[in-house]
Structure 1
Amino acid sequence: MNKQHTATRPLSVLDLATVVEGQTPADAFHRSLELAQFAEEAGFKRFWMAEHHNMVSVASSATSVLLGYIAGGTKHIRVGSGGIMLPNHAPLVIAEQFGTLAALYPDRIDLGLGRAPGTDQVTARALRRDRMSAANDFPEEVLELQTYFSPDNCNSPVRAIPGEGLDVPIWILGSSTDSAYLAAAMGLPYAFASHFAPTHLHAALRIYREHFKPSEFLQQPYTMACVNVVAADTNEEAQHLATSFYQMFLGIIRGRLRQLPPPVASMDNIWSPHEKAAAQQMLDYSFVGDPAKIRQDLKGFLDATAVDELMVTAHIYDQSARLHSYKLLRELFDDVG
C-alpha cells in the first residue's frame, strides 16, 4: 500500500481498543495494533488512543502503556493520547510516562489532554481519591506539565527524567466550550470530540479561533475534529455494520454497558423512538454509507467546520470490515480533504 496522498488536510485515527463480544482485552490490543499498522501504510498521520475507565467495551484505560505497544509495533505514524484525562494523574507522572515514550520513539509522540474523568463519578472517586476538584486545576496542571518538559526546568528541585527537554506536542481536547478558551489562551492546538458530543462543536471552534494567542508552540490556530465513519461498498452494508455501534451506544443510554455486539438486521425492535432520538443526537457527526455518500457527507462537514485535520473512529465488529472501512475512507478522502 504505502501510497502518496495529495490531500492537504491530514487524516488521523482515534482508537479505544474496543472489546467485541466473545473476545478479550488482549484480542482488542492485537486488533488495535493491526489497525495502527494498516493506518501507517495507508498514509494516516496519527493514531491516538483515549483514556476511559470501568467500561467493558474499552480496554485503553492504561493509555500510556498501550501507546508504547502501538509505537513499538509501527515505524513512523504519530502515536498519542486522545486523550489523557490529566486530573486523574499527577502532572509529573504524565511527564515521565510521555517523556519515556518520546525518548523511545523520537518525534512520534503526541500528548492530548482532557479535563473530564473519562468515566462515571464513582470510578472517578476511585481514581482521584482526594482530588475530586482536580478538574478545576486543569489550566495550572497543564502549565506544570509544560514546565516539566521545558529544558529550563533543569535547576528545579523536581524534574521529569526522562521528559525534560523533549519535544512532546501538547493538545487541548474538548467536548464543550470551556477548553476552547484555554487552548486559545495557551496557544496550543485544539481537538474537539464531536464523535460523541456534537452540540458545541461550532461554538467551540469559533471561540478558539477568535481568542487564539500565538505561542512558542503554535503561531496560528490549529483545529481537529473527530467523527464516526462506517464505510462499506454499499449503503446497505454500511448501515448493517453500524448497528453494532448503535447497540453499544444504546447500552450507554440505558446505563447497561456492554462489549461491542455483532450487527443485527434492524434496530427497530431494539430501541424505542426516544432512545433512537437520544442516540442520534449524540452521534450527529456519524457518517455511514458507501464511498459516494461518505464523500458527500464529509465534504459538507469539512466545508462547514474548516478544521485543519480530521480524526476518525470506527466501532465495527468484524476486523476485516473495519480495515476495509478505513481503506475506503483513505481512498475517497483525497477528493474532499
Structure 2
Amino acid sequence: MVQFSVLDVSPIIAGGTVADSLRNTLDLARHAERWGYTRFWLAEHHNSPSIASSATSVVIAHVAAGTSTIRVGSGGIMLPNHASLVIAEQFGTLESLYPGRIDLGLGRAPGTDHLAASALRGKSGRDGHDFPDQLAELRAYFSGRMPVRAIPGEGLDIPIWLLGSSDFSARLAAELGLPFSFAGHFSPLALMPALELYHRNFQPSKVLAEPYAMVAVNVIAADTDEEAERLATSGQQLFLSFIRNTPGPLPAPVKSMEGLWTEREKVALQQNLGSAIVGSPDTVKQKLEKLIKDTRANEIMAVAHIYEHKARLRSYEILADLYQLNGSNGKA
C-alpha cells in the first residue's frame, strides 16, 4: 500500500507573521494526523522570508508535542551545515521525548544561498563533498562507536533517510541500503533517473531488505480544477521571485499569471514546477496514479504552497479522502 505524508516549511504568507506560520504548521499536522497521513516532515532552509522552519529541530519538537501518533521528522536536515554530534544529540533528545515517532531525513545541500551557507558553515568550508564521511560519523555517534559520546542519542534507533534532487544521494542510499526521498517538487527532470539508479543499485542492509522510495511532489487540490489552478499561482509567484532574486513572503493567489512572467520565466517555471499535480479530486487522482505507477514510489510526500490556510487544509483533506487514509493507511 502506498503511504502518504506531508512536507511543510511553515510558509510565511504576505501580511502574516512567523508566529502565524508556526501555529498553522501545528494545526496542519494535527489535521494530517487525524486524516491518516503517515509522517509530517519539516525542511531546513535559511535566509528566506517565506520559510519559518529554519530551526528545524525546534519546529519538529513543536509539532511532535502537539500531536500523538503521526511520525514527525526532517525533510531534511542539511547535514554539512552542522556538526554531526549536534544532530545526534538533537535527534537523540527528540527520540527520547517522542519515542518511535522521529525520522531523520538528511540532505547535503545548504538549503540557502552562498552567503548564508558561509555564515552557517564558517571556517569548516563544507560543500557537501564529504557528506558520506559525515553521514558515517553521525551513524557512529548513534551506535556508540565514537570517542565522544552523543548523550542523548547513543543507542537509539532513529530511522535515517537520505534526501536528494540528483543522483548523488540516490547512489549513496542504494549503497548503504537506506530509504531514499527524492525532491520531485522542485527537481522533476532528475526524478526518474535518480529512482532508477536507486532501485538498480540497492544493496540490502540491516535497515531495509528492499528499496523504499519516497517522492515529494507539489499537490494542490480543490473542489474544481479552476480553483486549484488559482491557488497554485501563489507557489508560481514565489518561484518567480526566486528566479528574479527578489524573495519575499508567499503571495496571495491571482486569477492568472499572464502578464506577470516573461516567456522565458514561464518556461523556467514549467521545467521546475510543471510536474505539480493541480486540480479537482478526479484530476489529482488521475495524475497521482500515473506518478505512482511510473516511479514505483512506496510513499508520496505532498507539498502545498497555498496562501490561504483553510484552502491548504482542504487540499490535504481531499488527498486523504481520495486514498481513504483515515483508518487504512498504516504508520510505517
Contact 1:124 1:132 in 2 (8 A): no
Task: Name the structure 1 match of 2:292.
Answer: 302
The within-5 A match list for 1:177-188 is 177-188=167-178
Question: Which ranges of structure 1 fall in alignment gaps of 5 or more residues?
Answer: 1-7
Match of 1:277 among 257, 267, 277: 267
Partner secondary structure for residue 48 of structure 2: coil
Give the alignment's TM-score, normalised by structure 1.
Answer: 0.95
How far apart, CA to CA, are the structure 1 residues paired with 2:48 and 2:251?
14
Cα deviation, 1:151-193, whole Å, max 9, x if unaligned, reads x43xx43010001111110000010011111101111000000
5 Å-filtered alignment, 1:225-240, equals 225-240=215-230
Aligned residue number for residue 4 of structure 1: none
Q: 2:31 aligns with which of 17, 38, 44?
A: 38
Q: Which amino acid aligns with 1:324?
A: R
What is the match of residue 184 of structure 2? 194
Identify the residue that residue 64 of structure 1 maps to in structure 2.
57
Contact persistence 1:193–1:226 (CA under 8 A): yes
Q: Distance in 1 between matches of 2:304 and 2:295?
A: 20
User: What TM-score, normalized to structure 2?
Assistant: 0.96
Quote how far apart the aligned CAs of 1:334 are.
Answer: 4.5
Matches within 5 A, 1:29-108: 29-108=22-101
Partner in structure 2 of residue 223 of structure 1: 213
Which of 302, 318, 325 aligns to 1:328? It is 318
The answer to which of 38-47 and 234-243 deviates more is 234-243
8 Å CA contact retained: 1:51, 1:62: yes
Q: 1:268 aligns with which of 240, 255, 258?
A: 258
Displacement of 1:333: 2.6
Please report how far the alpha carbon of residue 134 of structure 1 lies from its aligned counterpart in structure 2 after TM superposition.
4.2
Q: Judge conservation of contact 1:83–1:113 (CA < 8 Å) in 2.
A: yes
Residue 241 of structure 2 corresponds to which residue in structure 1? 251
| Cα offset, 1:277, TM superposition | 1.0
1:130 aligns with one of 118, 123, 129: 123
Distance 1:39 1:303 in 2: 24
| 3-state SS of paired residue (1:135) | coil
108, 128, 139: which is aligned to 2:132?
139
Moved over 6 A (4+): none
State how far apart, in whole Å, the 2-side matches of 1:65 and 1:205 are.
Answer: 31
The CA deviation at 1:218 is: 1.1
| Shift, 1:284, TM fit | 2.5
Checking the alignment, whether the CA contact within 8 Å between 1:70 and 1:79 is kept in structure 2 is yes
Aligned to 1:13: 6
Structure 1 residue matching 2:47: 3-state secondary structure:
coil
Q: Supply the AA of the counterpart residue of 1:86.
A: L
Quote the RMSD (CA, aligned, Å): 1.2
1:107-166 CA-partner distances (Å, limit 9, x unpaired): 00000000000001111111101222341110011111111111x43xx43010001111
Q: What is the rounded CA distance, in whole Å, between the counterparts of 1:333 and 1:46 in structure 2? A: 15
Alpha-carbon distance between aligned partners in 1 of 2:159 and 2:189, rounded to the nearest angstrom: 27
Counterpart of 1:71, as a letter, is: A
Partner of 1:161: 151
- Which of 102, 106, 112 is matched with 1:109 structurally? 102
2:274 is aligned with what amino acid?
D
Q: Match of 2:199, as an amino acid? A: R
**1:24 aligns to what?**
17
Q: CA deviation at 1:32?
A: 0.2
Secondary structure of 2:178 counterpart: coil
Q: CA deviation at 1:79?
A: 0.2
Give 3-state SS (helix, strand or coil) of 1:54's partner.
coil
Aligned to 2:278: 288
Residues 4-26 of structure 1: per-residue CA shift (max 9 Å, x gap): xxxx1110000000000111111
CA shift digits 1:177-223 (9 cap, x unpaired) = 11111101111000000000111111111111111111111111110
| 2:203 aligns with one of 213, 217, 226 | 213
Which one-letter code corresponds to 2:220 in the other structure?
A: V
Residue of structure 1 aligned with 2:307, choices 317, 321, 328: 317
